[in-house]
Each structure stands twice: as C-alpha cells, then as structure tokens.
Amino acid sequence: MTNTVTTERVDTEQIQVRDPYVLTHDGEYYLYGSTDPNIWRGQATGFNVYRGTDLRTWTGPYPAFRPPEGFWSQTNYWAPEVHPYRDRFYMFATFGPGRSVPRRGTAILASDSAVGPFVPHSDGPVTPREWECLDGTLHIDDDGAPWMVFCHEWKQITDGEVCAVRLTDDLRAAHGDPVTLFAASSAPWVEKLTTSKGEQAWVTDGPYLHRTTQGTLLMLWASFRGGRYAQGIAVSDSGQITGPWRHEPEPLYASDGGHGMLFRTLQGELMLTLHTPNRTPEERAIFIPVEEHQGSLRVTPA
C-alpha cells in the first residue's frame, strides 16, 4: 500500500494523536501514536511519526508504517511504541482482527531507522490469538531477556488484566505462556466503567515500564476514575516483572488523560507524555515534567 504524505512544520496542539510515545534518539524527538483521524472504525491507514527538538514544533507527518498488500489487519491500528534493540528499531503496535486472526492483538514490526518504514517482523500478533489484547510494550529483565507486557482486554473478561509474556530473543514470537500481573479492580483508585450497553467493567490500558535510578521497577497504566480517563502507577515489590505489584492509592494524572509513557529530554529531564482529553478528535499529546520520589513518581513541583 503506497501513501504520499506532505511534511510540514506543525505545533503539538495541531497534531491529533492518541497513545503518544516519544523516542529520544540522535539529538531529536520522534513522536509516534495512534494517528488515524478515527481509530475506532473504518479502514485504517497506518502510523505516522513526527520529528522535533523542542517538544513544541515538529516536522511531519512521516509515514512510519503503511500495511503491505495482504496484511492481516485492516482496522484499529493503535498505540505504536518504538524500542531500540540490538541495532534495530522495533515497533510494538495493536491491530484489529482480520485475515486468519480472530481477535485484536499486539504485533511487532521492525526497521533500520527510527522514522521507518517499519515492516512486519512477527507472524501476526504475539499475544494469544484467542484473547482480546492490546497495548504491548517491551521490557528487558535483569538477565537481558525480552518480555512483552500487555493488556488482556476488559471487553472479553470484564475485569481487565495486565499480563506479561517472555519473548524469543529475536522478538519474533512468544516464548512460553503469559502470566497475569494484576487485574484492574485490584487498584484502589480505579472505578467501574459503565458501558453503552449498561454493563460494568474495570479497564486496563497502556502499560509502560520504568526502572528508577534507585532500581525500583514501576509501571504506568491507565484506567478510569469518576468517569474520566486517568493515569496510575504500580510498583513491583520484588523489582522483577512478575511482581508482586502494588498500586499507588491515587492516580498520577486524573484530568481525563492517560496511556502515558516516560522519556528523557535532550537535557536529561524525566518527562511524562499522555493524551488528553480522551475524546476523538480532540485528543492531543501533553508533556509533564516528573521526578522520582520515594520509590515512585510525582509531578515536578513548580
């Protein structure tokens, strides 16, 4: 599938994006995310990336991924993350069900460049094909082994879960069965969401792992509080991906925003990005300085 894109200079406020992800690489920021105008329905286009140096003005969009002819999914291209690994760049991204794949899942793409083009690397989704899954992220454990942390979606199991699965060293497939790290209802700050059908559920979205300078393993993840999207934090008491995980009692951000991640600025400052408000087509990336504090995170005091 070919696509022509005219790049230009745009401000952050002009970029409609959900699930923003920033890679700092070679003196630049690369901003990825769910960038189709309507990610919920219709034919998906792909993922775009923007490049910049100040988190305010960007050049783009650049077509980071466009599905090749015969690609197994045509809908719901969500939440791309790009991780440098063994001299290449790997995109973990969620795709809707399609040819021979009955349910939504996370697949892995690869490129020699941070700007792409990314091409399929795994054989379809790496998440279990009988599960409804989304939002896979890469974690490298203390032994150098790669894991994918992802969400087993509430739409299938009502009480959404965050799970982890060991990956093969080449990131092409799962290596073993997934393990459940926690359920959404275990977090004290999470409130039930009432769906459009009147059903109640507990949501898990957008896990992202961060090892503090003191060695504590933290997980950002999103759910709902007071009917609004919110960003929470969980802490691994063992320092390992398998936990056990305990939850901070209050969300880090509760103003209708979430699916966040952390990155270091070009000046070395720790920064949180997430999208807000949680409404299409109004969603935008925002950048919030944060700092490590007493084994967790807090917004940097003004």
Residue 295 near residue 214, CB atoms below 8 Å: yes
Rounded to whole angstroms, how far apart are CA atoms 97 and 100? 8
Among candidate residues 90, 234, 88, 211, the one with its CA nearest the CA of residue 151: 234
What is the predicted pLDDT for the residue at 191? Answer: 97
pLDDT tens by residue, 257-300: 999 999 999 999 999 999 999 999 999 999 999 999 999 999 99
What is the predicted pLDDT for the residue at 254? Answer: 97
Domain coordinates in residue numbering, the chain: 8-299
What is the predicted pLDDT for the residue at 197? Answer: 82
What is the predicted pLDDT for the residue at 5? Answer: 60
1: pLDDT strictly greater than 60: no
Fold adopted by 8-299: Tachylectin-2; Chain A (2.115.10)
Residue 109 near residue 91, CB atoms below 8 Å: yes
Residue 125 near residue 113, CB atoms below 8 Å: no
73: pLDDT strictly greater than 80: yes
pLDDT tens by residue, 248-268: 999 999 999 999 999 999 999
What is the predicted pLDDT for the residue at 258? Answer: 98
Query: Residue 147 is encoded by which pair of tokens?
Result: 């894991």
What is the predicted pLDDT for the residue at 136? Answer: 98
Mean pLDDT, rounded, for 7-28: 97
What is the predicted pLDDT for the residue at 2? Answer: 41
What residues pair up with 95 in beta bridges, in sequence order? Answer: 105
Among candidate residues 115, 219, 130, 230, the one with its CA nearest the CA of residue 177: 130
Tell me the pLDDT of the chain averaged across its residues.
96
| % of the chain exceeding 70 in pLDDT | 98
Mean pLDDT, rounded, for 17-36: 98
pLDDT tens by residue, 92-130: 999 999 988 999 999 999 999 999 999 999 999 999 999
The single residue listed with the structure tokens 């919110």 is 230
pLDDT tens by residue, 184-228: 999 999 999 887 788 899 999 999 999 999 999 999 999 999 999
Long-range contacts of 217-221 (CB under 8 A, 24+ apart): 217/241, 218/296, 218/297, 219/149, 219/162, 219/181, 219/245, 220/252, 220/260, 220/261, 220/262, 220/272, 221/162
Vertex 114 angle, CA 47 and 210, to 5°: 90
